[in-house]
Amino acid sequence: MAPLINLIFFILGSLLELLKWAIIISAVLSWLVAFDVINLRNHFVYQFSKFLDAVTRPLLAPLQRIIPALGGVDISPIILILLIVGVQRYILPALQIGLLNLVG
């Protein structure tokens, strides 16, 4: 049972890591589009941007309603990344150890 628990927590940690990178890439991509370094008329860039938006928007939207933009800068991606790192470092390991101790 312990290997299954370890596998599940490995997958959860990996998914959180991918989500963290998706948020970072989405923010950088939005800056590149805003400064007209790349444009959304390129089909690949448009599809990639839509995918990242579909992945990150459901998590960022509640934070954007709570946290106002500071000087026109949206800091909700930073807050979400901090929350993800906190879950990765503190909550997941504690849950994993607790479940492993429970199983024996």
What is the per-residue pLDDT across 14-33, written as a single tens digit (0 to 9) for each? 999 999 999 999 999 999 99
SS3 content of the chain, % helix, strand, coil (to 5): 80, 0, 15
Residue-averaged pLDDT of the chain: 95
State the Cα angle at 76 between 71 and 81, rounded to 5°. 135
Query: Per mean pLDDT, which range of 31-40, 46-55, 78-87, 91-100 is the poorest?
Result: 31-40
Q: Which of 8-12, 64-68, 89-93 has the lowest mean pLDDT?
A: 64-68
Residue 102 contacts residue 30 (beta carbons within 8 Å): no
How many domains are there within the chain? 1
What residues make up the domain containing 77? Answer: 2-103
For residue 70, name the pLDDT band (cuts at 50, 70, 90).
Answer: confident
pLDDT band at 104 (very low <50, low <70, confident <90, very high): confident
Q: What are phi and psi of 80, to 5 degrees?
A: -65, -40
